[in-house]
A and B are shown apart, each in its own frame.
Chain A
């Protein structure tokens, strides 16, 4: 089962756990990768799930190392942590040979978020990065196709999946006040 602790605690635990990784397939994978990349932190979540935390400056380097065992990049998930003023990027990797899923997590500040592209490692990252750029405004340096992708051009600079984007007020500006059907009672209702 998953370890459901707070972020801070897991980081501390990972540091403590470093020498005592379980002697399983997953543990060995983490150990091997951490030997090559001592700047990262790694832990085993559960069977077939491992986790790494990498500083943003060395993410490209780390993913290049990881791509030897993890052949597929399944997704780049972005989580907007508004209170900490950070974006968390989770590179979801899957190893076909080892059947292990890896979360590679990195954090960048929300203002002028910039990261190197990983298109050169996995060409499919182009799609994921375009999506992350459009919805969160993260710039992936080296990706030539950043720009309006899924949204309409007029919505391009809005970055709607950020936590400070107010869906209701945006809808009202676009569709007018009459879109809100609850004029009588404005209690707790969003769109």
Chain B
């Protein structure tokens, strides 16, 4: 059924001006204000509000769909080394200086590794060290949820990102725990040569032998897939 266009003219649209009516607004003086008194009152973001990302590192297959769909090119694939082992696939690193929070990356993720939480609050000072916070590899969703339940203020789960000279990153979470890993390189293809790791003596020796072999394996596997 199609409704016909009903055109109405002057008789309904026009109104009369009044000198008295504007004073009726005074009644609002006796009403409760709608202003929310931040920080004494809180506003909760809606459930499934598009906030910061989360990433299940185990599920991520490094397909770079997120990097391809990203309208702001905020995502770059990063090769990580955790506890001396290189992750088999690259993981997305999100730059919140660019991110538009459209969450298309979450939509396209084929394994559901990338997700998001309602946490949206991140403000820092202007120093180089502080700005590191805006460029992170998202952490596990359970950890972010846990932190948010503990503090309940929807802030960024990481308090400080410590960057060491050899490419090691230490995430100091808000509850005092840390996540440590090393960034080996960027891009879809694995880094050519693992930069020789020279951190504290004992672990480094172990690292140098094992990961090097593994990386070669990965490279070969990649080549096979590519061919």
**Which A residues contact B (CB, under 8 angstroms)?**
181-182, 184-185, 187-191
Extra A-B contacts (10), CB below 8 Å, given A181-B95, A187-B188, A188-B68: A182-B76, A182-B186, A184-B187, A185-B185, A185-B186, A185-B189, A187-B187, A187-B189, A189-B73, A190-B73
Closest chain B residue to A184 by CB distance? Answer: B186
The answer, among B68, B73, B76, B95, for a CB contact under 8 Å with A185, is: B76
A-B contact pairs, 20 of them (CB 8 A): A181-B95, A182-B76, A182-B186, A184-B185, A184-B186, A184-B187, A185-B76, A185-B77, A185-B185, A185-B186, A185-B187, A185-B188, A185-B189, A187-B187, A187-B188, A187-B189, A188-B68, A189-B73, A190-B73, A191-B73
CA distance A15 to B83 in the complex (A): 71
Q: Closest CB-CB distance, B104 to chain A, in whole Å?
A: 16
CA distance A97 to B16 in the complex (A): 32
| In the complex, chain A residues whose CB is within 8 Å of the CB of B73 | 189-191
| In the complex, chain B residues whose CB is within 8 Å of the CB of A184 | 185-187
| In the complex, chain B residues whose CB is within 8 Å of the CB of A185 | 76-77, 185-189
| In the complex, chain B residues whose CB is within 8 Å of the CB of A191 | 73
The 9 closest A-B pairs by CB, nearest first: A185-B187, A184-B186, A185-B186, A187-B187, A189-B73, A187-B188, A184-B185, A182-B76, A184-B187
**Which B residues contact A (CB, under 8 angstroms)?**
68, 73, 76-77, 95, 185-189
Closest chain B residue to A190 by CB distance? Answer: B73
CA distance A152 to B68 in the complex (A): 31
CA distance A185 to B187 in the complex (A): 5
CA distance A184 to B73 in the complex (A): 15
| In the complex, chain A residues whose CB is within 8 Å of the CB of B76 | 182, 185
| In the complex, chain A residues whose CB is within 8 Å of the CB of B186 | 182, 184-185
Q: Closest CB-CB distance, A135 to chain B, in whole Å?
A: 22
CA distance A190 to B185 in the complex (A): 19
CA distance A188 to B65 in the complex (A): 13
CA distance A188 to B77 in the complex (A): 12
| In the complex, chain B residues whose CB is within 8 Å of the CB of A182 | 76, 186
| In the complex, chain A residues whose CB is within 8 Å of the CB of B68 | 188
Closest chain A residue to B98 by CB distance? Answer: A181
CA distance A181 to B74 in the complex (A): 10
CA distance A191 to B73 in the complex (A): 8
Q: Closest CB-CB distance, B95 to chain A, in whole Å?
A: 8
CA distance A184 to B90 in the complex (A): 14
Q: Closest CB-CB distance, A188 to chain B, in whole Å?
A: 8
Q: Closest CB-CB distance, A142 to chain B, in whole Å?
A: 38
| In the complex, chain B residues whose CB is within 8 Å of the CB of A187 | 187-189
Closest chain B residue to A182 by CB distance? Answer: B76
Q: Closest CB-CB distance, A184 to chain B, in whole Å?
A: 4
| In the complex, chain A residues whose CB is within 8 Å of the CB of B185 | 184-185
CA distance A188 to B187 in the complex (A): 10
Q: Closest CB-CB distance, B106 to chain A, in whole Å?
A: 20
Closest chain A residue to B188 by CB distance? Answer: A187
Q: Closest CB-CB distance, B163 to chain A, in whole Å?
A: 15
| In the complex, chain B residues whose CB is within 8 Å of the CB of A189 | 73
Closest chain B residue to A189 by CB distance? Answer: B73
CA distance A6 to B39 in the complex (A): 60
CA distance A151 to B187 in the complex (A): 35
Closest chain A residue to B90 by CB distance? Answer: A185
Closest chain B residue to A191 by CB distance? Answer: B73
Closest chain A residue to B70 by CB distance? Answer: A189
CA distance A191 to B77 in the complex (A): 16
Q: Closest CB-CB distance, A125 to chain B, in whole Å?
A: 29
